[in-house]
């Protein structure tokens, strides 16, 4: 039995193709998207006492989907599993109230993000919403508003002015 060069070429291509299929099954299967996880610790205002029964909530910035953790245990540990990859804003809900985390959390596929949070009210952190409103009712605040408004109007007028065409006859 003699193998012709053309048949030899076809046979070698088939052999290489079958070898690739046998040793590379991932070529035929689509990779399913994987998700990440989050683990964290919730502490009281002192930063050392674990809070039991707190629920950690995260909201996807892109699509608005909200997820919740299991209630924290006596060590203050929370867990959220199967989180879609993306950026999230977070907060904690306890019997004493709701608290927001001031940062954005990034979740990557096949990884576990770690978070540690101390429950402090915004008034105790030095941020008071009424202080900002009070500033704008003072003479300095009103002057700032008027100056900023004038600058914005001047900029809009200058940007919308039509430029004259350069001409030797004008």
Tally of CB atoms within 10 A around 37: 15
Over range 5-21, report the average pLDDT. Answer: 72
Asked if 116 and 93 count as a contact pair (C-beta separation under 8 A), the reply is: no
The half-sphere exposure of 140 on its side-chain side, counting CA atoms within 13 A, is: 4
Say what the pLDDT of residue 95 is: 87
Lookup: tokens for 33: 């998207």
Q: Which of 96, 26, 22, 85 is nearest to 58 (CA)?
A: 85
Report the alpha-carbon distance of residue 76 to residue 116 in Å, rounded.
Answer: 10
Per-residue pLDDT reduced to its tens digit, 14-51: 777 776 666 665 555 555 567 889 898 999 888 889 99
Say what the pLDDT of residue 141 is: 77
| Neighbouring residues of 51: CB distance < 8 A, sequence distance ≥ 6 | 42, 43, 44, 72, 76, 94, 119
Model confidence at 78: pLDDT above 90: yes
- Among 85-89, 94-98, 163-167, which is the least confidently predicted range? 163-167
Asked if 101 and 109 count as a contact pair (C-beta separation under 8 A), the reply is: no
Query: Vertex 75, ends 97 and 104: CA angle to 5°?
Result: 55
Output the pTM of the full model.
Answer: 0.53
What are the C-alpha distances in Å from 9 to residues 1, 4, 5? Answer: 16, 9, 6
């Amino acid at each position: 039995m003699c193998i012709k060069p053309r048949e030899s070429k076809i046979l070698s291509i088939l052999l290489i193709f079958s070898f690739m299929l046998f040793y590379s099954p991932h070529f035929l299967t689509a990779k399913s998207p994987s998700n990440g996880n989050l683990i964290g610790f919730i502490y009281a205002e002192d930063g050392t006492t674990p809070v039991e029964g707190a629920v950690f909530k995260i909201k996807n910035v892109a699509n608005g989907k909200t997820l919740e953790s299991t209630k924290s245990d006596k060590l203050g540990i929370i867990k959220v599993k199967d989180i879609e990859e993306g950026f999230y804003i977070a907060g904690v809900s306890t019997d004493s109230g709701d608290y927001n985390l001031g940062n954005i959390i990034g979740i990557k596929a096949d990884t576990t993000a770690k978070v540690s949070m101390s429950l402090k009210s915004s008034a105790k952190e030095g941020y008071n919403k009424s202080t900002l409103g009070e500033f704008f009712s003072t003479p300095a605040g009103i002057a700032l508003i008027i100056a900023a408004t004038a600058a914005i109007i001047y900029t809009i007028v200058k940007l919308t002015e039509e430029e004259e065409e350069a001409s030797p006859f004008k």
